[in-house]
A and B are shown apart, each in its own frame.
Chain A
Amino acid sequence: MQPGQVAIQARQLAKQYRIEQGAPRYRALRDELTQWAGAPLQSLRARLAGQPQPQRLSNRKLIWALKDVSFDIERGQVVGIIGRNGSGKSTLLKILARITAPTLGVVDLYGRTGALLEIGTGFHHELTGRENIFLNGAILGMQRSEISVKFDEIVAFAEMEKFIDTPVKFYSSGMFMRLAFAVAAHLETEILLIDEVLAVGDAAFQKKCLGKMNEVAGQGRTVLFVSHQMNAVLELCPRCLWLDRGLLVEQGDSRAIVNQYLRSGISNSAWTPTDEAWVENNFFRPTRFALVDADLKTLQREVRGDEKIGVLIEGQCQTTSSAVNIGFALYAASGELLFWSFHTDTPETDWPVLRTGENRLLAWLPAHLFNEGDYRIELNLSLHFQEWICQPGVNAPSLSFSMRGGLSQSPNWLSARPGVLAPVIPFQLL
């Protein structure tokens, strides 16, 4: 086992799926039989009528979930697989895990391989925690002797000593997850394929899971780790593969690739009116609404949690009025309103004074405020308690941005937490 030895070698991997539109993937034997029995008749009829032969596959669509993917992974490397939904990450993992077969290409895996595509697979709610540990362990590919040896360790990791002989149907979902992860975390194969299993449980348990993952990564085993959480990828995987629409876009150093991946996110980050007469008024006629980075350049990528984001509002004033409120409304991806903000939120003495003519207003959304996720921002203009110029949700232009990674520098905070916001609030000892 010299370092540098290949653990996984994939060559021109491709996977084609057949999608039957408007129909379930499986078929009825009845249909098959009638089709089979009726086919000669149909084709004869078609031939007599001089029509083309009926196409059996006409309503089926073929898609390539994976195309021409080749890579080598050396023994002991921990490699992340990143990409958007539907990019083929899971398909790749399923091929490597031998759950589904490739349509083309070959893979060679050198070493005992285990896959964690889900935790708790095969758990049965009627069985006790103890019974499920053995059952689940066997399903994941552990030997019975191996499970026996690790049994106490698994129970201790899950913190389940008291309930280990209780049927799991009486467990809370959190307890269930803990036990399931504990078994999975003790799968010690030479090659380990992991799909987002960390996204379970409460924050404390997630932390523990990531800690365990870190430990696994440091043990010299070969790990392939699919994740949406760039933080976790950066933290755990020195190297990564980037898939997009089934193609391997890039592979190599994680830091570079994650940045590239984040930059690739095409964002809707600037707006200008298409119509000169848009919201015609004398007080503030918006000419530009944009999200900018620290250099005041329009954002063209996903944002990291440790970056501040500038909200730039430009507009024409013909008449100045202290009744004008210029601001924005911020929404979470769910559509929930997070807050409104106006240039008049401070004491009146600190308000920016608008001039007649062109005005540029800039507001910074602080770093370490938002969680990973997508956000929407709408322009919010009004004459205080008089009338709307741009009303959020009615006629306001909207922009969006995506937050990925950079949530915290804490070694204990690697992946996105639950919640819309993720502020880093310093604590002090009194």
Chain B
Amino acid sequence: MHEMSLVQALFTQLASLAADHDKHRVLTVTVAIGPLSGVVVDSFQFGFDILAAEHSLTKEAKLIIINPPATFQCLQCGHNQIAAVRPDSCPQCHETLLIAEGGDAIILNQVEME
């Protein structure tokens, strides 16, 4: 349940953004969670709901999670395929060894505050 640590990091960033921009209410939070990040989206949402209810800043905040895909590069021919789930093989040369690039990030993209 390391998702809770990540949600705590998110709330630290939200508090600091609110202070920087002199805002008092977070309306929406957009977080990008890559398919290879090792984060369970439901657990992240669960942690968000619990912590959001504890602070007046985030009491009404809505969490929007987007899932950007990863790039899988073929070790043999270098062909790149973009996919949300690891493909079994390269569509061009059928090599099964593919190197994942990206897709492991957990990014706070945008915050709407007032």
A binds B: no
Residues of A at under 8 Å CB distance from B? none
